[in-house]
Structure 1
Amino acid sequence: MTKSNIYGFILSAALLITSISCARQEGLSVIPAPQSVEYHNGNFEVNPSTNIYTNMSKEGCMAFANYLEGTSLASHPFIDTPDESNTIILNLSNDSTFTNDEAYKLVIDKNKIVITARGEAGLFYGTQTILQMLDNGNGKTLKSITIEDTPRFPYRGMHLDVSRHFFDKEFVKKQLDAMAYFKMNRFHWHLTDGAGWRIEIKKYPRLTSFAAWRPFDNLQEWWVSGRTFCNQDDPRAVGGYYTQEDIREVVAYAAERHITIIPEIEMPGHSEEVLATYPELSCSGTPYVDADYCIGTEKTFEFLENVLLEVMDMFPSEYIHIGGDEAPKTSWEQCPRCQKRIADEGLSGVDELQSYMIHRIEKFLNDHGRKLIGWDEIIEGGLSPTATVMSWRGEEGGIKAVKAGNHAIMTPGKYCYLDAFQDAPKTQPMAIGGYLTLEKVYSYEPIPDSLSSEEAKLILGVQGNVWTEYMPTYEHTEYMIYPRILALAEVGWSPADKKDWNNFHSRALKAVKTLQAHGYNPFPLDKEIGDKPESFEPVKHLARDKKIIYAHPYSKQYSAAGEKTLVDGIRGGWMYNDDRWQGFIDCDFNVTIDLGENTPIKEVTAEFMQLKGPYVWMPKQVIISVSSDGKNYDTLSTIDNDISPDEETLQFKNFGWQGTSKARYVRYQALSNGTPGGWLFTDEIIIR
């Protein structure tokens, strides 16, 4: 054989091996992707005679066997001594190569399956890999393989809001099953909020006989009709709560699946339901007036501490979540008791008053062997030294926390809020707004570039949040959760350099079918439409890359590409949060574009959107004017809006002029409809 033929043979063989490896990797449909995979020849057949052996404790073995009864490994008996053939061996080991209790090694050959781990959690997660291989593979045949796997982050969580809409314990258990299957280990249970209290507190029975019930079936109708509560025996009552027995049952169910439940008890804000029930805990002393607890009265701390004592008795979690977000604090500014507290404690204002409350509650929790987690607003007024920050308003809160030496969990709304539309909005059920695709969730990287390697160690992990304002049914809620939570499961577990969108997408398609087969209602990923067509191709027009002057500043929160946004040729997608739409809050939109010289023009247009839920409105009126000298303007067109602000669904509308004119300066004004807190969004001013 010639030298060139030898090289050709070697190259061909290498390409063949690579292609086989890729094909095999494609065949391993496991989420999250394992850290290391090595394939071997042969298969293992799981048959009715396959046994299971483990050296776990008797209690651990019983819990594991109980769990397996609901899986594709049900009815396989546990044996007392290991067998070298037709056996699944779950082996606890002191092997120092395992860096944590969740890591595992899985070896499948033609005779047996061996899962080795330092902790029972590792054996559990190795078994999840087996279960997924069985569910997504060829019947009971498993490929011979060696997998070494360990999670990237210790915290891989999902949050569920049961205040806005109540979901029974069986539904919660069902979601815990799915979390375990995809190796997620923290369930953040949002049990209280202004829309309803959902956990039995024996010392305060009216929290569940009154604050858990609303006289409206529809949350939006309740929201605009006074937001009142009613007694449980009221014929109109809609709602529910978990008894303490329910809570303990769910906590035990989760523990069997190696999931820790973190309860959230909101304070000081989002507490309207409590203050309607016990108005003496508010600044006004009157129901349905305040949203924040009164921090000037000791009755508030007596109440909160009594509640937390019962909560800690039900939840063994190291962490207790206290909310801390979106507290208006306005009542504190006028409250004599709060102002006295500020003076007595030498505080600078209401921000430090909130910090005082957070510190005091944290000390109470610490004294009882627990730690505090809160949303990133708990940083305001001074961060508690041992508090963990859950960063939702972007990543800034998490960055600030870790730079101060605190732990953080990343859950920014842009990537982790699963109440946003996941496909073309007019094809989807109602959502609060935003557009968050599976691909965008998968693209999230929880470690910001600005952190050092030491600071990065303080990022505990990532969490997906399910807020249920627009999720009234079990089916709708699952539709919003799956498959997007699977992307976060992989973000939290798999090494960043192992992420591969195309490969994940193919695995997610199979996972959706598996979820459907197990009775879940996921979004049908194979029918995904995708983003707005206009967003894919840049548009050419006369204003592109020209100078633009803003009369009113755009919002820093929705700045898109800054001053070039409206003349960069890039159109926005289905929603305002895609970094292409530019937002203006509580003001008119007024910009002037300098074309550089007098130029013949035939068209000036811009598109706006409306979505009632997040207060995104059409302009009341648009005025388009032109000038040759930048001083004297002639109005080309005045266009009134004809879309009602009461329209519930997402709307788009072009406001434009067509005709014949000549100008150097083009001024485009869009007038706000005047709704306080209202937004205007546009993506490009097109001049032709």
Structure 2
Amino acid sequence: MVVAQDVAIIPKPVKLQVTSAKDRFIIDQETTIIPETVDAMPAAEFLKDYLKKYYGKELTINPRHNSFNAILLKLDKVDSKVVGAYDFRSKKNNVQIKANEPSGLFYGVQSLIQLLPVSGRLEEGVASVSISDYPRFQYRGMHLDVSRHIFPVDYIKKYIDYLALHKMNVFHWHLTDDQGWRIEIKKHPKLTEVGAWRNGTIIGLFPGTGNDSLRYGGYYTQEEVKEVVRYAADRFITVLPEIDIPGHCMAVLATYPELSTTPNEPKQVAQTWGIYNRQNNVLVPSEKTFAFIEDVLNEVMDLFPSEYIHIGGDECAKKWWQESAVSQQFMKEHGLKDEKELQSYFIHQAEMIVNKKGRKIIGWNEILEGGLAPNAAVMSWQGIKGGITAAKQGHPVVMTPSSQMYFNHMQSAKEDSLTAAGKAITLDSVYLYDPVPAELTAKESSYIWGGQACLWTEYISNTAKVEYMLFPRLSALSEVLWSPKESRNWESFQKSLPSQFKRYDLWQANYSLEYFKARKLDPSTYGLQKARKS
């Protein structure tokens, strides 16, 4: 007999009711997927591919099939006006998903996937339930740094699939940094000929125990970028590209030393981590620099249709501008009273370039320094203060405080894998985080666009380690960003975890067992495979 607490869907829906304790919908070879309009095809194709890949069952998509033994995807009015809302009904003879627009159908399909047997045996059936659901936040993001370590296009697609399966809708792609430039810019081919490659990487935790002296690098061609953007769009995920300026530019300066405040000093793509304030990695303010920024951003905007372009803006060490006669003269000529205003000048220039094409900029919270650009959004990573300040000024905010949302940090105090130093970011600390600061009024809170977690890859050199750091924390994050605050419950979430871990096994995904270790639980008693070492 099925009861509501036995139905484990992550993220937790707004409303879920078991409508029959006995009846189950069995997907078999005769089951048909019925997209009633062409707009329902992305959801239909995703479901078909999922069933074939993980259950070995290839279903037919037929818009004109009758509704018996079928999965119906229909654009129709649902009560909620929130983008992504859907209604779901499964019963003995069929499954019906309806939504106001296509993304809602796609999210309804993700709930159906969560109802599929984690054993891999479809004959166990889908419980009879009724769901009305919609997301709490319109920005539900996950970040991946490909500068420190780069991953193949096929894996980027898999990463996007993981996000889609959790009803996330933004993939923040960190494409440039001191340790490598990862995107082809046709007007500046040297960026990938030189800036995409470093001549070694430190060994171990910073400052390291040596250097491996191995050439490392790579980049994504523009055709590959277009392929990723299309793939994500089919999953209702926006790819948010990040081109980090005016700091974190060592890969740029190794390629074009003339864009540095010290053009005559030799430079190379960074081989170590944590070089902020240790090496000169900032751009010099000059017409040549701003022309370069415009060239890059114009090509980036041609590749990415996202409303926002991430321009970084973080960790700009002011000392390099202070020591630069050219920078000081530029500040004097442009009436800039200090280096914070110079940093703001860079951000304003980037915003003007982006605005000319009808786009907007988003940057890390340091873009508040020296005055925030008029139409900018802020990503708050140094705690929540920057997000609060931006929201009070009426700017859109994405909350990603490093103390809870940086998934490159250890998952327990006794982590058995090399990770970034600092406090442990445990599964419960992720789950219990709320993106809306208590200090904000209701009106100010409306500027909290949503949240995201970041995965910086200094110590993540392979895809198994990516997944080890991602799971199960991504599942907790998805519920933080989708489910109503009042319905989230840590104890209830924990009851859903055994099924979710089995789903990771079904996906053949790697994951951390720290949740079990911290509670002295034996994962094998839950029927889980042993997580691979990372």
Q: TM-score, normalised by structure 1?
A: 0.70
- Cα distance in 1 for partners of 2:361, 2:251 equals 23
Q: Equivalent residue of 2:73, what SS?
A: strand
What CA distance in whole angstroms lies between the structure 2 residues aligned with 1:490 and 1:117? 20
> Per the alignment, in what secondary structure is the counterpart of residue 454 of structure 2?
strand
For residue 82 of structure 1, report the CA deviation from its aligned partner: 4.9
Looking at structure 2, the residues matched to 511 and 178 of structure 1 have their Cα atoms a distance apart, in angstroms, of: 13
Task: Note if contact 2:202-2:208 (Cα within 8 Å) is conserved in structure 1.
Answer: no
Question: In structure 2, what is the equivalent of residue 162 of structure 1?
Answer: 146
Deviation at 1:98, TM superposition (A): 3.0
CA apart distance, 1:500: 1.1
1:578-593 to structure 2, matched below 5 A, reads: none
**Which residues of 2 match residues 135-214 of structure 1 at below 5 A?**
135-136=117-118, 139-140=122-123, 141-214=125-198
Question: 2:78 touches 2:85 (CA, 8 Å); kept in 1?
Answer: no
How far apart, in 2, do the equivalents of 1:251 and 1:425 lie? 38
Preserved CA contact (<8 Å) 1:509 1:526:
no
Question: Which SS does the other structure have where 1:129 is aligned?
Answer: helix
Does the residue aligned with 2:407 lie in a helix, a strand or coil? coil
Where does residue 332 of structure 2 map in the other structure? 343
Q: Which residue matches 1:449?
A: 438
Q: Secondary structure, in 3 states, of the residue corresponding to 2:452?
A: strand
User: Could you tell which deviates more after superposition, 243-252 or 134-143?
Assistant: 134-143
What is the identity, as a one-letter code, of the residue corresponding to 1:414? S
Any unmatched runs of 5+ in structure 1?
Answer: 1-19, 229-234, 532-688
Among 81, 95, 98, the residue aligned to 2:64: 81
Structural mapping, 1:458-477, within 5 Å: 458-477=447-466
* 1:219 shift after superposition: 5.7
Q: 1:276 aligns with which of 250, 254, 279?
A: 254
Q: What pairs up with 1:333-372 in 2 under 5 angstroms? A: 333-372=322-361
Aligned: 1:45 with 2:26: yes
Please say if 1:238 is aligned against 2:199.
no
**CA shift for structure 1 position 275:** 0.7
The CA deviation at 1:102 is: 0.6
SS at match of 2:129: strand
Which residue of 2 is the match for residue 34 of structure 1? 13
Structure 2 residue 230 is matched with structure 1 residue 249? no
Q: 2:241 aligns with which of 252, 259, 263?
A: 263
The answer on 1:105 being equivalent to 2:105 is: no
Counterpart among 451, 460, 468 of residue 479 in structure 1 = 468
The alignment status of 1:68 with 2:47, answered yes or no, reads: yes
Letter of the structure 2 residue corresponding to residue 447 of structure 1: V
Looking at secondary structure, tell me which structure has more strand per residue. Answer: 1
- CA-to-partner distance for each residue in 1:180-224, whole Å, 9 max, x for gaps? 011001000000000111111111111111111122255659977
Contact 1:423 1:530 in 2 (8 A): no
1:305 aligned to 2:294? yes
C-alpha distance in structure 2 between counterparts of 1:115 and 1:62, whole Å: 13
User: Post-superposition shift, 1:290?
Assistant: 2.2
Which of 1 and 2 has greater Rg?
1
Distance 1:70 1:38 in 2: 28
For residues 166-190 of structure 1, the C-alpha deviation after alignment (integer angstroms, 9 at most, x for no partner) is 1111111111111101100100000
**Where do 4+ consecutive residues of structure 1 move more than 6 Å?**
221-228
- TM-superposed CA distance for 1:61, in Å, is 4.8
- Equivalent residue runs for 1:299-448 within 5 Å: 299-425=288-414, 427-448=416-437
- Give CA-to-partner distance per residue, 1:75-117, whole Å, 9 cap, x none: 2212232523111110102x26231331100011222211010
Maintained 8 Å contact 2:118/2:506: no
Letter in 2 for 1:86: N
* Greater relative CO, 1 or 2 (CA 8 Å, sep 6+): 2
Q: Which residue of 2 aligns with 1:294?
A: 284
Q: How many angstroms does 1:516 deviate by?
A: 2.2
What SS does structure 2 have at the residue aligned with 1:439?
helix
Distance change (3 Å), C-alpha of 1:262 and 1:135: farther
Moved more, 300-309 or 76-85: 76-85
Alignment of 1:10-25 (within 5 A): 24-25=3-4
- Give 3-state SS (helix, strand or coil) of 2:50's partner: coil
- Equivalent in 31, 36, 40 of residue 55 of structure 1: 36
Query: CA RMSD, aligned part only?
Result: 2.2
Q: Distance in 1 between matches of 2:40 and 2:440?
A: 42
Answer whether contact 1:52 1:77 (CA < 8 A) is retained.
Answer: yes
Letter in 2 for 1:476: K
Relative distance call for 1:221 and 1:461 in structure 2 (3 A) is: closer
Q: Is the 8 A contact 1:101 1:119 kept in 2?
A: yes
Gaps of 5+ in 2: 268-278, 521-534
> What's the CA shift string for 1:103-132, capped at 9, x where partnerless?
100011222211010111000000010011
Deviation at 1:277, TM superposition (A): 1.1
For residues 80 and 74 of structure 2, what CA distance do their matches in structure 1 show?
13
Of 57, 67, 74, the match for 1:91: 74
Residue 142 of structure 2 contacts residue 170 of structure 2 at CA under 8 Å; is this kept in 1? yes
What is the TM-score of this pair, normalised by structure 2? 0.89
Q: State how far apart, in whole Å, the 1-side matches of 2:205 and 2:413 are.
A: 26
Task: Kindly provide the amino acid, as one letter, of the partner of residue 373 in structure 1.
Answer: I
